[in-house]
Structure 1
């Protein structure tokens, strides 16, 4: 019979080994993401000169720069997708924080990208799109507990179907996006790990977006906390997990599908938009405070992220409690058996 202390030691060892394996895989994946980052070397020299000059003087690159002649090998269509579901959270955080009526994101994107097709999806057009093109997904789409999950799902399907650039309404264009269209797909770097899903781009029919659309059903699980449920089922962690699966599949099978730089990239490749292009320096995009899907539970989750030892302690305590409860049930069961035997 194992004592509780032995059980705790075995559990602790298991958690440690599992954690080390997860950390090893994550480290390998993060190293790969760094290798896939978009850099100035991926842009034509004339544009890099203009970009550096504008940053040096605190200005935007001139709109009269000949973007079309400079960027002739666009893989991503000149389409920008936004999504706005009215009253996204009528009882949460005071309702939707960035309604389309006041967001300047579409206006600014038109200003810097006048020849782009800008689409703003809503709950009606989103569901009609699924009913027409992907009716098999409607049970999952309608069954999502949180509205933001439906928005996330729509992001992946729309980009897979039409291609283009997807942007949350708290993100706006700060310059022409033509330099970013030469890549088959890209996702913005997240801090500290993985990628974000509030902004990404892809060519229509990109295999990774297809994998994302096909993986949503399997990831539709309840993680108790709203934040965790959204994060893992459709949110940034879902995107990061699919990219990691993609990377590990090709790594484990000794396959090479990427190629270096946009000119050598295969249609299956994806790239990472580093924070230097995604934050406030050299950036193509501006940001407003977002996170409208964050509930009160996010504070608890983030506290455990900052204090992983506490999570291990909670797991150990729960394991000890489960062990004690099981032994008590076994003891009660034996006592009942003895009582019945004595009664006979």
Structure 2
């Protein structure tokens, strides 16, 4: 009887392990939600009646600047030039730049239960990751990494209740996000930060799966598994590989401020995952 119980335990454990591995692998392939191109967004806005649709997202641009290396509050000149492109093309929008002090004050005032996790992150970029999700939940608006600039007004994006960007390969991206305030996706995402808070051996894995793109993708899939098609969210296609559709609204410049010793290895694996 003992042998039978042990065998049953091992079988259940193996089943759980296999299911977790399969769920993890799926993060890098086809994603749930509604795929939409930048051209489709621009066309929908330009067509008759396109601007009479209900505006769901408030006109707020969020960006985060945490200089954990030099403790400098001044933006690098190239990033400042990029953010100015978004400010000048969206003159009637509110612009919010979140420094380390301002970020923590916001969380302490509105999400005090998260402060212990926020302060306990091993890698500073995890705090930047987490903050953007809480900003989407609390304020709504559009979030952009500081290495992203604007080519056009962002107004055409205001008619979609919540969205992220999809580079067309690998996990979803969290460098550009949009949402109306208090959307349930961000509630699920911010709540899940607590249960996903785990330090793996590899820095890249810890950052990606505890708060970054892999984490976002996992919760995205979980959210869509329990919602009806009419409540599915949008994936804006933003592929920068040669031969793909040109970027209409955004630019990409210097980034990777969170690079660690294992980044190159995992980025290579990601680029060759389909082949492997």
TM-score band w.r.t. shorter chain: 0.7 to 0.9
The gaps in structure 2 that reach 5 residues or longer are 1-13
Structure 1 residues 211, 48: CA separation in 2 closer, same or farther (over 3 Å shift)? same
| Number of aligned positions between the proteins | 258
Determine the C-alpha separation between the residues in 1 that align with 2:92 and 2:134. Answer: 24
CA distance in 1, matches of 2:39, 2:220: 23
**TM alignment of 1:124-203, pairs within 5 A:** 124-203=101-180
Higher relative contact order (CA 8 A, sep 6+): 2
Larger mean Cα displacement after TM superposition, 225-234 or 39-48? 39-48
1:70 aligns with 2:33: no
Change (3 A) 1:302 1:134: same
Q: 1:342 maps to what in 2?
A: none
Alpha-carbon RMSD across the aligned residues, in angstroms, is 3.5
**2:265 match:** 300
Listed one character per residue, the Cα deviations across residues 73-111 of structure 1 (whole Å, up to 9, x for unaligned) are: 21011000000012x235xxxx99x96242223211121
Aligned partner of residue 32 in structure 1, secondary structure: coil
Match of 1:238 in 2: 215
Secondary structure at the counterpart of residue 221 of structure 1:
coil
Q: Which has the higher strand share?
A: 2
Determine the structure 2 residue equivalent to 1:273.
236
Using the TM superposition, give the Cα deviation of residue 238 of structure 1 relative to its aligned residue in structure 2, in angstroms: 0.7
Match of 1:36 in 2: 35
CA contact (8 A) 1:81 1:118 kept: yes
Q: Which has the larger radius of gyration?
A: 1
Per-residue CA distance 1:143-200 (angstroms, 9 max, x = gap): 1111101111110001100000000100011101111110001110034123101111
CA positional deviation for 1:45: 5.7
Paired residue secondary structure (2:173):
coil
TM-score scaled by length of structure 2: 0.80
Instruction: Work out whether residues 167 and 240 of structure 2, in 8 Å CA contact, stay in contact via their aligned partners in 1.
Output: no
TM-score using structure 1 length: 0.65
Query: 2 CA distance for matches of 1:124 and 1:24?
Result: 37
Unaligned runs of 5+ in 1: 1-12, 50-67, 251-255, 260-265, 312-344
Quick one: structure 1 residues 156 and 139, their matched pair in 2 at CA, closer, same or farther if it must change by over 3 Å? Answer: same
